[in-house]
Amino acid sequence: MPALAIAALTRELRADELPALATHLLALDAEDRRLRFGSPMSDPRIVDYVRHIPLEHDAVFVVTDDELAIVAAAHLARSDEVAEIGLSVLREVRGRGLGSALFERCITRARNWRLRALFSACLAENETMVYLSRKHGLSGHAADGTAAGHLSLPAPTSSSMTEDLVREQLALFDLEHKKLWLALRRRMPDMPPVANDEPN
């Protein structure tokens, strides 16, 4: 795979983009699928999982590369008073803050939904996710091979609402920028393959 230029700009997935989310999750190897979902996931189970994400109720945030492929995703699943986060970042772009950016976006959105708390659950052996949960203020405990994290959410403020809107607008601007580059590259194949050099 060529070097990727990825900015940690998180965008909310639209319903017509769910097939792209399936493509992203299907690109995870067996071990990453086990870490993401807590148990082995076959291709048909992943497709079924994506098909049943209620986007009118939950939210999915994504980071895309210069080809507009999803390289990182967070599913924020909402129940009456709480939300739960599920994260996936492709191996080749890990350690560049994409998981953290998605985590922050989910915390802000769950807060703005006026929920009481955000939860994370992962295998206890998943040191990176346990670390990320702690880093973002979730307090946790481990039992029966599972690590659970919990963050009480404050009430939304005008600044938390604005933060969510600004992040979305920046990501939409980035999307239009990438679409323009793709269109230009189709017309002028000799152009460099990336629009920016470094992640934010």
Ligand X SMILES: CC(C)(COP(=O)(O)OP(=O)(O)OC[C@H]1O[C@@H](n2cnc3c(N)ncnc32)[C@H](O)[C@@H]1OP(=O)(O)O)[C@@H](O)C(=O)NCCC(=O)NCCS
The residues of the shown chain that bind ligand X, judged by CB under 6 A, are: 32, 35-36, 86-89, 94-100, 122, 126-129, 131-132, 135
With respect to ligand X, which residue has the nearer C-beta, 50 or 87? 87
Structure tokens at 15: 């319903």
Q: Could you tell me the smallest distance in angstroms from the CB atom of residue 3 to ligand X?
A: 17
Backbone angles phi, psi at 107, to 5 degrees: -60, -45
Backbone angles phi, psi at 157, to 5 degrees: -130, 170
With respect to ligand X, which residue has the nearer C-beta, 75 or 178? 75
For residues 21 and 9, give the distance between their C-alpha atoms in angstroms, rounded to a whole number.
Answer: 16
Strands 70-78 and 59-64: antiparallel
With respect to ligand X, which residue has the nearer C-beta, 21 or 89? 89
CA distance to 14, 22, 110, 113, per residue, from 154 (Å): 27, 33, 10, 11
With respect to ligand X, which residue has the nearer C-beta, 100 or 112? 100
Q: Could you tell me the smallest distance in angstroms from the CB atom of residue 160 to ligand X?
A: 21
Q: Could you tell me the smallest distance in angstroms from the CB atom of residue 24 to ligand X?
A: 10
Q: Could you tell me the smallest distance in angstroms from the CB atom of residue 124 to ligand X?
A: 11
With respect to ligand X, which residue has the nearer C-beta, 16 or 144? 144
Q: Could you tell me the smallest distance in angstroms from the CB atom of residue 140 to ligand X?
A: 13
User: Please, which residues have CB within 8 angstroms of residue 130's CB and are 6 or more apart in sequence?
Assistant: 122, 124, 140, 142, 147, 149
With respect to ligand X, which residue has the nearer C-beta, 134 or 177? 134
Give the SS3 label for residue 15.
helix
Structure tokens at 44: 């048909």
For residues 71 and 9, give the distance between their C-alpha atoms in angstroms, rounded to a whole number.
Answer: 11
Q: Could you tell me the smallest distance in angstroms from the CB atom of residue 132 to ligand X?
A: 6
